Amino acid sequence: MRLVVQRVSSATVKINGEISGRIGPGLLVLAAVHQHDDMKTLKWAADKMMKLRIFEDEDGKMNRSVTDTGGGILIVSQFTLYGDVRKGTRPSFIESAPPDKAETLYDAFVDYTRSTFKGPVGTGRFAAMMEVELVNDGPVTIIIEKENSPES
C-alpha cells in the first residue's frame, strides 16, 4: 500500500459536483493498493498514518499526530500512485492491485480507520472521477509505503 499523506487546513472531495467527503484540519490521504497487499499491510499503513507525528506541539515541533489534535482524515483512492514511468512517458500500472482486490482492500482500509480513529473520516468513492480540493498546511507531505513482495 502506498499512501500520500498531506497535512491540511481543509480538504474536500466532490463526485459529479456533489460533496462526498470534507474535513477541516487534519490529513488528506491518497491511497493506492499494491498487487501483493493484504489485510496485514493495510492495517500497518493505517496505524502508521494515524500515529504520524506531523502536527506542531506547543513548542512548534512536529510532535503530534492527527489523533492527538482531534483533526479529521479524508481518504481518497488513487491507483495512479503506482504509475511507473521509468520506461517511456506512458505510465504502467502493473504494480497496482486488480480492481476487485483493490476495492476490497481500500474499503477495508477505510473501515479499519473508522473503527480505530476517534475523529471524522471522510472518503471519495473507489474508481469514481473525483475533484479534490485542499489547503496544504505547511506544506507537509509524507509518503507511507511498506515494501511489497509476496513474502512480506
Q: Peptide bond preceding 120: is omega within 30 degrees of 0, i.e. cis?
A: no
CA 143, 135, 74, 15 torsion-angle sign: negative
79 in active site: yes
Cell numbers at residue 30, please? 491518497
DSSP for 23-85, please give it.
Answer: ESSEEEEEEE-BTT--HHHHHHHHHHHHH---EE-TTSSEEE-HHHHT-EEEEEE-GGGG-B-
CA 77: distance to chain centroid?
Answer: 7
**CA distance readout (Å), 43 to 25, 100, 133:** 23, 19, 26
* 3-state class percentages of the chain: helix first, strand second, coil last, to nearest 5: 25, 40, 35
Catalytic residue among 6, 67, 79, 109: 79
55 in active site: no
Catalytic residue among 12, 78, 113, 123: 78
78 in active site: yes
Catalytic residues: 78-80
